[in-house]
Structure 1
Amino acid sequence: MTSGLARRLGTGDAVVVGLSAMIGAGVFAAFAPAASAAGPLLLLALALAAVVAYCNATSSARLAARHPESGGTYVYGRRRLGPFWGYLAGWGFVVGKTASCAAMALTFGAYVAPGLAVPLAVGAVVALTALNLLGVQRSAMAARIMVALVLAVLAAVVVAGLTGGKAPSTPWHAVPQAPVAPWEVLQAAGLLFFAFAGYARIATLGEEVRDPERTIPRAVPIALGITLVVYTLVALATLRVLGPARLGTSHAPLVDTVIGAGAGWLAPVVRAGAAVAALGALLALILGVSRTTFAMARERDLPGFLDAVHPVRQVPYRAELAVAVAVIVLVLAVDLRGAIGFSSFGVLVYYAVANAAALTLARDEGAPPRAVPVVGLALCVVLAVTLPAASVAAGLAVFAAGGLWWVLRRRP
């Protein structure tokens, strides 16, 4: 019999964990590929991604309040739709987000010292796993510090981008632009949605949050709202300085923004902020993936030896160690350039299951307005199929393999 996890996190801690995942994961990288796809309609794609994120966040928050257990949509799918759908959601989350962990670790290494990216990435995984093993409160405190530093850097970028430099005589939005196809806007929204997806970390910590029925529904929209405001300001600043064409081809759009705004002295600060953001995202990702792994092991959808809580620290230590090993293997052995597209596909499928589960909530169970999960489910499917073909194919293959594993394990 496994003891439950300690409920130590309040609303502020849960908000910070979500912010560290959302802002750290996307704001330094997502705008360039999104601008390359959507061009002058970048802000429309951002708004669409925010709508999808709001629907998913609302459905997830209502479900998390009803089922305050570690595991997120894996638990909701099992409880509301049946074991198979919960398993597929958990499978996609664990596999996709493990790849995201490796990508964030490599991002950290590349910003700090490109020639030592791999050893630095491994060191970051080891250090943050050790921090998590000390207890979730310490992890939340570290996330709080990282979020404060990243927000300070982004504030400097926004001020420089909106007020610095010499504004062009003809604003970019007044220049004739090439037409943008609707599917390109949808693809950009799918890429930007990846940057919003960190609120899942709040739901996966449901068993460690105090008063989850109130805390989780309160923390999710707060974290999402703050992130949307930050992303909108950053998008306006980068578009003002670079325009959609230059933004779409930039490898470091926020660094190019401060340089173009005449504040080149901020470039090292922005690079340092990107490294801190990658660490914050990695910290929150390891927390979320390990909790989902723990929940799936508890139901024996993953090996049972991962179902173990440390008797003193009260953290799922075996699940955390297993996730760390898997991430390090990926960092050492795999080219992860295509991992972001695959992860986006997995996350969208994960939230499609969440919205389908929310449709089963009754009014006395805190059901959201029916339009919210309906719109969320439809948009998750649409954005998933408009991702690059290679990402869709890889995602379908992994989900098919996971489904086959589930069926084979349940044969007599």
Structure 2
Amino acid sequence: MTTGSGGGALVRRVRLGDAVVIGLGSMIGAGIFASFAPAAAAAGAGLLIGLVIAGFIAFCNATSSAQLAAQYPTSGGTYVYGREQLGAWPGFLAGWSFVIGKTASSAAMAITFATYAVPGPWVKPVAIAAVIVLTLVNTLGITRTALATRILVALALVALTVAVVIGFSHTAPTASTPGTAVTVYGVLQSAGFLFFAFAGYARIATMGEEVVDPVRTIPRAITTALTITLVVYALVALSALHALGPAGLAASAAPLRAVADTSGAAWPGIVIRIGAAAASLGALLAMIAGIGRTSLAMARNSDIPRWFSAVHPRFSVPYRAELVLGGVVCMLVAVTDLRGAIGFSSFGVLLYYFVANVSAWTQTRENRRYPRALTVAGAIGCLVLVVTLPPASVVAGVIVILVGVAYRAIRLRVQRNGTDADRTSP
């Protein structure tokens, strides 16, 4: 393998249950508490079709990620897979797309947490505080990350159960109000927003160097976490549409809190607030862990400065990468809004999975666990969803991708010039 060396190795401590929980924590908070409202604004009731499309593309991507992770059980996810199967440049594109996309996701989750947890004027300060605290938790080790995520996921699932029961048994005045007209473009855009919610299984693959028996554990953890999430999403989407209607769902900054309010009682709203905060924190915690591992792999190959490849001697985590990441996320929280963060994140993550699918397509027969047709469907689906995202998200994404490409091109040129100088020196 060409993943490079240096900076120390990580320790295999994560078993199947913890890997599934980390994936659930990454997906459930993002999908239910952040992306349903913009999806409803784009497609109205057609968001249910968008959910099916996003889920199918996510399944294709999950199978590609699972078989690649089994072949390359090391940190870095598709950054490593792209390098090994396609070459250094595709690997870099995947890694850079993941880092920028999930950094935006982290900001979105911090804002979502604070939106549910505190009054409006306090949202940004509390969101920044959450990023700081969870960044420090991640630097204490991956087993602590898995334990914290398990607690947060349990709280979120309790709240979602309450929301589903209330959603199917109550309705708001907005329930009969027509929402956005259903169009093909709107449905595909809603799928792009909702895809943002399904990307949590990537965190499992990026921690391949810390998973026990990764050849068996990673594919099982990815498919298990995705299946559970699909069922949860479908139930919550149906109940929210029943309670609020497409227009009410699109207009609500905190849609599940609005669902709870239809009951007329105070306690469901409290439960939803706690669950939403827990789910968002769980997603944020797992995202920081995943981005740190991809940054570690990139630093080992000098695709970002090698300074980031340092692994803490006691806690076995890429602590420099995670601390710097936390600072960048804090800055993003201060300057962005939720819809913009989700669109930008989806752009980066869809490109990441495009490379994953192409990489899986090139695997040899002995390493292939799923039909090649799934990799083709996943790659095409990713490209279709990218071009239907809001134009501002696409433009911003292209600019940041080009910045990363320019950095790598300059570094390679400097490296070549230095090598040529050494060869010609007397």
* TM class, shorter-length: over 0.9
Q: How many Å separate the matches in 2 of 1:75 and 1:86? A: 6
Matched, 1:256 2:262: no
Structure-2 residue corresponding to 1:6: 11
Q: How many Å separate the matches in 2 of 1:176 and 1:244? A: 7
TM-score of the aligned structures, taking structure 2 as reference length: 0.91
Cα separation, partners in 2 of 1:166 and 1:405, compared to 1, 3 Å = closer
Structure-2 residue corresponding to 1:109: 114
SS at 2:304 equivalent: coil
SS at 2:362 equivalent: coil
Q: For structure 1, which segment, 257-266 or 363-372, has the greater mean C-alpha deviation from structure 2 after superposition?
A: 257-266
CA deviations over 1:337-388 (Å, ceiling 9, x no partner): 5121111111000100000000011110134201100000000000000001
Q: How many Å separate the matches in 1 of 2:237 and 2:317? A: 38
Cα separation, partners in 2 of 1:177 and 1:103, compared to 1, 3 Å = closer
Q: How many Å separate the matches in 2 of 1:182 and 1:16? A: 35
Aligned match of 2:74 in 69, 74, 91?
A: 69
Matched, 1:340 2:342: yes
Cα separation, partners in 2 of 1:179 and 1:134, compared to 1, 3 Å = closer
Structure-2 residue corresponding to 1:99: 104
Q: For structure 1, which segment, 233-242 or 121-130, has the greater mean C-alpha deviation from structure 2 after superposition?
A: 121-130
Identical residues among aligned pairs (%): 57
Structure-1 residue corresponding to 2:422: none
Structure-2 residue corresponding to 1:352: 354
Whether the 8 Å CA contact 1:105–1:122 is kept in 2: the answer is yes
Q: For structure 1, which segment, 353-362 or 242-251, has the greater mean C-alpha deviation from structure 2 after superposition?
A: 242-251
Q: How many Å separate the matches in 2 of 1:297 and 1:104? A: 26
Q: How many Å separate the matches in 1 of 2:89 and 2:397? A: 17
> Which amino acid in 1 is paired with 2:199?
A
Structure-1 residue corresponding to 2:127: 121
Q: How many Å separate the matches in 1 of 2:86 and 2:180? A: 45
> Which amino acid in 2 is paired with 1:9?
V
Aligned match of 1:386 in 378, 388, 411?
A: 388
Q: How many Å separate the matches in 2 of 1:363 and 1:210? A: 25
Displacement after TM superposition at 1:118 (Å)? 2.7
Q: How many Å separate the matches in 2 of 1:358 and 1:322? A: 31
Q: How many Å separate the matches in 1 of 2:256 and 2:274? A: 12
CA deviations over 1:123-175 (Å, ceiling 9, x no partner): 2122112211111001100000000000010011111112x23799xx96xx9
Q: For structure 1, which segment, 72-81 or 115-124, has the greater mean C-alpha deviation from structure 2 after superposition?
A: 115-124
CA deviations over 1:184-241 (Å, ceiling 9, x no partner): 1100111111011111111111110000000000000100000000000001111111
Matched, 1:40 2:45: yes
Q: For structure 1, which segment, 307-316 or 213-222, has the greater mean C-alpha deviation from structure 2 after superposition?
A: 307-316
Whether the 8 Å CA contact 2:64–2:375 is kept in 1: the answer is yes
Structure-1 residue corresponding to 2:366: 364
Cα separation, partners in 2 of 1:251 and 1:116, compared to 1, 3 Å = closer
Instruction: Give the count of matched residue pairs.
Output: 407
Q: How many Å separate the matches in 2 of 1:208 and 1:375? A: 30
Q: For structure 1, which segment, 260-269 or 224-233, has the greater mean C-alpha deviation from structure 2 after superposition?
A: 260-269
TM-score of the aligned structures, taking structure 1 as reference length: 0.94
Cα separation, partners in 2 of 1:177 and 1:204, compared to 1, 3 Å = closer
SS at 1:251 equivalent: coil
Name segments (4+ residues, structure 1) moved above 6 Å.
175-178
Displacement after TM superposition at 1:268 (Å)? 1.9
Q: How many Å separate the matches in 2 of 1:182 and 1:99? A: 27
Matched, 1:88 2:93: yes
SS at 2:259 equivalent: helix
Whether the 8 Å CA contact 2:97–2:352 is kept in 1: the answer is yes
Structure-2 residue corresponding to 1:300: 302
Structure-1 residue corresponding to 2:27: 22
Structure-1 residue corresponding to 2:419: none
Q: How many Å separate the matches in 1 of 2:220 and 2:72? A: 15
Displacement after TM superposition at 1:2 (Å)? 3.2
Aligned match of 1:404 in 394, 401, 406?
A: 406
Structure-1 residue corresponding to 2:423: none
Aligned match of 1:270 in 269, 272, 288?
A: 272
Aligned match of 2:152 in 146, 150, 156?
A: 146
Displacement after TM superposition at 1:73 (Å)? 0.7
SS at 2:65 equivalent: helix
Provide structure 2 residue ranges, at least 5 long, that are not aligned to the other structure.
1-5, 417-426
Q: How many Å separate the matches in 2 of 1:332 and 1:165? A: 37
Provide structure 1 residue ranges, at least 5 long, that are not aligned to the other structure.
none
Displacement after TM superposition at 1:334 (Å)? 4.9
Aligned match of 2:376 in 354, 371, 374?
A: 374
Q: How many Å separate the matches in 2 of 1:409 and 1:337? A: 34
Cα separation, partners in 2 of 1:211 and 1:280, compared to 1, 3 Å = same
Q: How many Å separate the matches in 2 of 1:241 and 1:119? A: 32
Displacement after TM superposition at 1:332 (Å)? 3.7
Q: How many Å separate the matches in 2 of 1:321 and 1:304? A: 15
Q: How many Å separate the matches in 2 of 1:110 and 1:36? A: 19
CA deviations over 1:310-337 (Å, ceiling 9, x no partner): 1121111111112112222333455565
Q: How many Å separate the matches in 2 of 1:387 and 1:178? A: 17
Cα separation, partners in 2 of 1:227 and 1:245, compared to 1, 3 Å = same
Q: For structure 1, which segment, 199-208 or 1-10, has the greater mean C-alpha deviation from structure 2 after superposition?
A: 1-10
Aligned match of 2:287 in 285, 288, 303?
A: 285
Cα separation, partners in 2 of 1:167 and 1:271, compared to 1, 3 Å = closer
Structure-1 residue corresponding to 2:424: none
